[in-house]
Amino acid sequence: MMLNNALMAAAGSAAPPSPTSDPERWGRWVENACLAHAVNAGCEVRYWREEPWEVDAVIRTGPATKLVEINTVLAVIE
């Protein structure tokens, strides 16, 4: 995880992803932005996986612990 998506843009050779033309890469950028925000807000962020289960993050802030799964959905309205 990078703590700022600008670092992802600077490090990569491709332009930032588009949700319509590259939804898989877009989802990874959104996930990184959400988790970076939590870290930058002072939360403890961890990854958890125990087959067959996995979550994007375990976020702890003070006494609260939350399991987080980040999803992006592209809705096309015509």
Distance CA 78, CA 66 (A): 36
Residue 1's pLDDT is: 82
Domain assignment of residue 63, given as a range: 5-68
Distance CA 22, CA 24 (A): 6
Q: What is the C-alpha radius of gyration for the chain, rounded to an integer number of angstroms? A: 14
Tell me if 43 is assigned to some domain. Answer: yes
Tell me if 74 is assigned to some domain. Answer: no
Distance CA 55, CA 37 (A): 17
Percent of the chain with pLDDT over 70: 96
Tell me if 16 is assigned to some domain. Answer: yes
- pTM: predicted TM-score of the whole model, two decimal places: 0.81
pLDDT per position as a tens digit, 34-68: 999 999 999 999 999 999 999 999 999 999 999 99
Number of domains in the chain: 1
Distance CA 48, CA 2 (A): 18
Kindly report the number of other CB atoms within 10 A of residue 61's CB atom: 13
